[in-house]
Amino acid sequence: MKIAEKKALKRESIIQTALQLFSVNGFHRTTIPDIASKLQMSVGNLYNYFSSKDILAQEIIKYTSEALGEKIRVVNGLDVSAEQKIHEIVDIYFTMAKEKPEMIEYFLRVYLSNREVFSDGCQGMVCVAGFITEIMVFFDDSVSSGELRNQDFFSAFGLFMGYLGGMVFLKGEDVLPQDIEFYIDDISRNIYNALKA
């Protein structure tokens, strides 16, 4: 294996480990030594891959957003109704929240919560472009096809991001009486009703 490849692999393993720790313990409660020690790596060496803790956090949100965007891109390629696509997207999101909670948790607990960390390097929403772009594609397609009402994109995007994120937050707070999957149908319906033409 080439050196460049090895480096890329290690880079990714750092991202994965840091993602895990940040999402569980929060950004400020996770230290660089914590991350290095879980990776059995020296702190000094970790700095060879990411030049600061903030930069590392930024790379993680890009990585996560990309991964989520990827899944939605698949949905966008399906030949089904907008209503079904909404159901799919909600399903993907909640399933991920259940099976890979660290990604969604990272979004809520690290990205959304520590703006200082992301203010230099992730202005606007460039670091979550992967996710936004796919929602935008979905929305534009569905408006074009006449299935969804035409309205300001952010009114629609806020609905997706806020509603889904909010539900996962409530789950995390242990206030939902049901499992998160229980809400998929209700919430898909609500979103569809909100946006339909």
Crossing angle of helices 153-172 and 129-144, rounded to 10°: 130
Q: 164 is in the binding site of which of a copy of itself, DNA, none (Cβ under 5 to 8 A by kind)?
A: a copy of itself
CB 173, CB 108: distance < 8 Å: no
Binding mask 84-113 for a copy of itself (x = CB under 8 A): ------------------------xx--xx
* Window 28 to 57, contacts with a copy of itself (CB under 8 A): 28-29
43 binds, options a copy of itself, DNA, none, Cβ within 5 to 8 A by partner type: DNA
CB burial string 65-99: b at 16+ within 10 A, e below: beebbebbeebbeeeeebbebbbbbbbbbbebbee
Q: Which two tokens stand for residue 37?
A: 């020690």
Q: Whose Cβ is closer to DNA: residue 57's or residue 90's?
A: 57
CB of 160 to DNA, least distance (A): 32
Contact mark string toward a copy of itself, 142..161, x via CB under 8 A: ---------xx-xxxxxx-x
Query: Which are the contacts of 114, defined by CB distance < 8 A and separation ≥ 6?
Result: 27, 28, 57
| Least distance from a copy of itself to the Cβ atom of residue 16, Å | 22
Site for DNA, rule CB under 7 A: 3, 7, 10, 28-33, 41-45, 47-49, 51-54
**φ, ψ at 75 (rounded to 5°):** -60, -45
Residue 126 vs residues 26, 80, 131, 165: alpha-carbon distances, Å: 22, 29, 10, 19
Query: Which CB atom, from 47 or from 169, has the smaller least distance to DNA?
Result: 47
Which of a copy of itself, DNA, none does residue 151 bind to, with CB < 5 to 8 Å depending on kind? Answer: a copy of itself
Cβ atoms 24, 105 nearer than 8 A: yes
DSSP H helices, 78-152, are 82-99, 101-105, 115-119, 129-144
Q: Which is nearer to a copy of itself, 77 or 177 (CB)?
A: 177
Q: For residue 147, which amino acid is it?
A: E
Give residues in contact with a copy of itself (CB under 8 A): 25-26, 28-29, 108-109, 112-116, 123-125, 151-152, 154-159, 161-167, 169-170, 172-178, 182-183, 186-187, 190-191, 193-196
